Structure 1
Amino acid sequence: MIPAEPAAPSRLARWYRTSLVGHPAGRDFRQLWIGDTISQVGTQIGTIALPLLAVSVLGADEFEMGLLATFQHLAFLVVGLPAGAWVDRMRKRNVLIAGDLVRGVALLSLPLAWLAGVLTFPLVLAVATVIGVATVFFDVAYQSYLPSLVPSSRISEGNAKLQVSHSVAQVAGPGLGGVLVRALGAPLVILVDAVSFLASAVFVLRIRHRDERAPGNDRRALHVEIGEGLGFVFRQPLLRRIVATTGASNLFGGISNALLVLYAIRDLGVGEAGLGLALSVGAIGGLAGALLAGPLIRLVGEGRTIALALLPGLPALALVPLAAGHSRPVAIAMLAASTAVVGVGIVVYNVAQVSFRQRLCPRRLLGRMNASVRFVVWGTMPVGAFLGGIIGSEYGVLTAFWVGVAGQALGALPVLLSPLVRMRDLPRHLDEHADTEPAPQS
């Protein structure tokens, strides 16, 4: 009797074996990915719930909404630089766990205060500040930890998968958040975000890889170590241009983002569920960008992808202020279209530029490099948010949006007028361990 031939492996099985999640060294990455996915869904629900809490429960105006967005991102400007040096001295896994726990507990205080009848706008600002500080440390450690969990040749794949989670959360989170806010109220919905951070901490705890703390005898004065991170970023001509574009985009984007919820609810009249629907439908663009990033980078080249990815989204930014005066369905559609088109470009751009700088930087400087980049590109966001509150209260919300549109268009020039447009492959750091794969975890 002739033995039957084994069935050919399914397409899903072949994908699993060849992808990062099925790689022998991929177990720890899976824990990071699952934890991040849970956290991202909760965060996207909280992203719409926190400003809705300020608008619908506390009656915040233009200036207060600008102030809330300022406090949400102020930590990147205040502690962004020393955070990189501190993270390089710590075990990054521990930083991730602490960041999740702090954010979860801080968010829990808001629904508890609401139930006790003591919820105030200053408390919301305080919680936003604490979450911002914890996020600074978490994000720096997160981007610096990934290269130690995956092979160097698969960093782009790892970043793309993490970006898929972020994009899926952007699709599901705001719509779900808008419906939940309408049904339960913003304070109770924030509880969902708090629980997601605690769940994320559980999965990070399951990571077996233990990164080593930097030897104490190698440490120098904090300002010297900070200077090394800044020096690396600003000595790299291509990285300088990427940082300039991202920083300008976040500065002027911060003007618009600070006022979006107030504009949508008060001026456009789309309602909580309508705003959530617009953001969820629009976030499909981000999901598409995450799925397309890898193939596009391989087809077009990393340099050209960074230079050109933002172009399609620039005219789409104008759809937000142009939505004024239209009916509710049309306004929702215009908000969704703008978010979708802009999202494709931003996600592709981020996957390409983050992977480039992770490969370019020596491992010992990753924390300080990431913190230096975040200090510049995220540090502009509280400035933009504060300006948005002032412009909105003095000259109107629409004026603030048009300033944001014009500024983001000009901000793309540093990469558009750079050698990146002509480059397919980008330089990388020739670390002696850069191409070695982490040992499989038993």
Structure 2
Amino acid sequence: MNAHRRFLVLLALRWFPVGLCIPIGVLLALSRGLTLAEFGLAVSLQGFVVLALELPTGGLSDSWGRRPVLALAAVVSLGSMSLLLVADSFAEFAVFAMLQGVYRALDSGPLESWYVDATLAADPSAKLERGLSAGGTVIGLAIGAGALATGGIVAWVEVPGVQTLALPVVLALGVELAGLASIVLLVREPPHPDGRRTLLASLRDVPTVIVDGVRVVRRSRILLGLVAVELLWGFGMVTFETLMPVRLSEVVGGPEAAVAIIGPTTSVAWLASAAGAALIPLVSARLGVAMTAGALRIAQGVAVLGMGLFAGPVGVLIGYLAAYTVHGAANPVHMTLLHREIDGPNRSTVMSVNSMVGQPGGSLGLIVLSAIASGTSVSTAMVIGAVVLAAAAPLYLPAMRAERRRLVSV
């Protein structure tokens, strides 16, 4: 099995459990006595942990190796999901969220870095956008399939002694265990230049690796532009991830009717995301990767604008599905541009810098857009979010110019 197929298998095993847990996360907590406010506070801890650990764990991946960090991430996730299976207090759900934050920080980057390094080692001229778009397709399909599976499990499966809402968590644990075994078997990387690396020795090198990675970003106009895109992207994603249900409840006449629609629509949205990722090689082959990335930022802004301005539920849902289709398509081309500018030793660290700025971008978006929605209207907040998403397009200009120079020199 080549690196491409291994990458896709590992992605499917990574994201299917996420799809299983998305529909039941808040409902499981509420069924065990937490209030909605307590659940929100507990989950918010995950973001703070990710923000604090994103760069150190990226540096650890570059200094220790992709395989051991991926394995450590899988072990942490197994521990957190085991806790979720029995958690029945705010403190236990808070610990679960913090462990998930550790997992997300460890998991952010090393698998994709391993795949890119392995692909370029085999073929330095490989078109990364093809493999990354296939990965985006698999992620969307895995999450959508997991969400659909949870709907079926909750509706039709009963196991004596196990809470129905906890059954998807049991399945997720089994899949994650298979994922850990697959990491051990499928992720192969060349020996570290310093020989066998211990965790302690790698931890000592993390500060140096982080400084080197940040220096790489600071010295590149292209990387600075890409990181700025991620910041605006995180801000604007609040529109279709958080504000959409509120907007839908406005046009269908209440939250109860909106909830009945949102469940299946979320599954369809992730399948649309997979379709968007699958189409990217065809589009980028015609327009170029950087031009495609810029056009998608504008397209997503237009989709969100439609969600904010359309009067009926059909228009809102069309805008929502369009936003997710573009979302799935945009990530592979953005990451392709990022990988073009970095080499193996700093790859995970630079990816962590890119990922890290999305966290404060999303937090700022939640604060600003929620305040605007409360003070004016949800539609106004969505329009502003749409403008921010589209405003990221010019930040791809340095990458566009570099891509044109690369084509001329070939």
Normalised to the residue count of structure 2, the TM-score between the two structures is 0.81
Distance 1:219 1:181, change over 3 A: closer
Q: Give the match for residue 376 of structure 1.
A: 357
**Matched residues in 1 for 2:319 and 2:274: separation?**
14
Q: Give the match for residue 217 of structure 2.
A: 233
CA RMSD after TM alignment? 3.5
Alpha-carbon deviation of 1:131? 1.2
The residue type equivalent to 1:52 in the other structure is L
**Matched residues in 2 for 1:334 and 1:104: separation?**
40
Write out aligned runs for 1:145-156 (5 A). 145-150=114-119, 151-152=123-124, 153-156=126-129
- The reply to whether residue 134 of structure 1 matches residue 119 of structure 2 is no
Q: Give the match for residue 347 of structure 1.
A: 328
Alpha-carbon deviation of 1:297? 0.9
Moved more, 240-249 or 49-58: 49-58
Q: Give the match for residue 312 of structure 1.
A: 299
Moved more, 99-108 or 212-221: 212-221
**Matched residues in 2 for 1:221 and 1:267: separation?**
54
**Matched residues in 1 for 2:174 and 2:6: separation?**
17
Q: Give the match for residue 135 of structure 2.
A: 162
Contact kept, 8 Å, 2:58 with 2:349, in 1: the verdict is yes
**Matched residues in 2 for 1:170 and 1:350: separation?**
16
Q: 2:288 aligns with which of 301, 326, 331?
A: 301
**Matched residues in 2 for 1:158 and 1:310: separation?**
21
**Matched residues in 1 for 2:63 and 2:399: separation?**
37
Distance 1:301 1:263, change over 3 A: closer
Alpha-carbon deviation of 1:154? 4.0
Q: 1:89 aligns with which of 63, 81, 96?
A: 63
Contact kept, 8 Å, 1:285 with 1:342, in 2: the verdict is no
Q: 2:190 aligns with which of 164, 189, 211?
A: 211
Contact kept, 8 Å, 1:323 with 1:335, in 2: the verdict is yes
The residue type equivalent to 1:412 in the other structure is A
Unaligned runs of 5+ in 2: 158-163
Q: Give the match for residue 8 of structure 2.
A: 33
Distance 1:292 1:183, change over 3 A: same
Distance 1:64 1:257, change over 3 A: farther
Q: Give the match for residue 166 of structure 2.
A: 187
Considering fraction of residues, name the structure with more helix: 2
Q: Give the match for residue 289 of structure 1.
A: 276
- The reply to whether residue 200 of structure 1 matches residue 169 of structure 2 is no
Q: Give the match for residue 116 of structure 1.
A: none
Alpha-carbon deviation of 1:232? 1.4
SS state at 1:287 partner:
helix
**Matched residues in 2 for 1:219 and 1:190: separation?**
33
Q: Give the match for residue 419 of structure 1.
A: 397
Contact kept, 8 Å, 2:236 with 2:365, in 1: the verdict is yes
The residue type equivalent to 1:374 in the other structure is S
Alpha-carbon deviation of 1:308? 0.9
Aligned length: 388
The residue type equivalent to 2:113 in the other structure is S
Write out aligned runs for 1:387-402 (5 A). 387=367, 391=371, 395=374, 399=377, 402=380
Unaligned runs of 5+ in 1: 1-25, 114-118, 429-442
- The reply to whether residue 277 of structure 1 matches residue 264 of structure 2 is yes
Write out aligned runs for 1:220-259 (5 A). 222-254=206-238, 257-258=241-242
Q: Give the match for residue 385 of structure 2.
A: 407
**Matched residues in 2 for 1:125 and 1:248: separation?**
29
Write out aligned runs for 1:44-123 (5 A). 44-55=19-30, 57-58=32-33, 60-61=35-36, 63-64=37-38, 66-113=40-87, 119-123=88-92
Distance 1:263 1:81, change over 3 A: same
Distance 1:312 1:258, change over 3 A: closer
Distance 1:297 1:77, change over 3 A: same
Q: What are the Cα deviations for residues 289-332 of structure 1, in whole angstroms up to 9, with x where unaligned?
A: 111111111110011011111222223325656799x7xxx4xx
The residue type equivalent to 2:334 in the other structure is Q
Contact kept, 8 Å, 1:282 with 1:336, in 2: the verdict is no
Q: Give the match for residue 8 of structure 1.
A: none
The residue type equivalent to 1:173 in the other structure is G
Contact kept, 8 Å, 1:249 with 1:408, in 2: the verdict is no
**Matched residues in 2 for 1:127 and 1:384: separation?**
25
**Matched residues in 1 for 2:170 and 2:309: separation?**
35
Q: What are the Cα deviations for residues 5-39 of structure 1, in whole angstroms up to 9, with x where unaligned?
A: xxxxxxxxxxxxxxxxxxxxx53432332132133
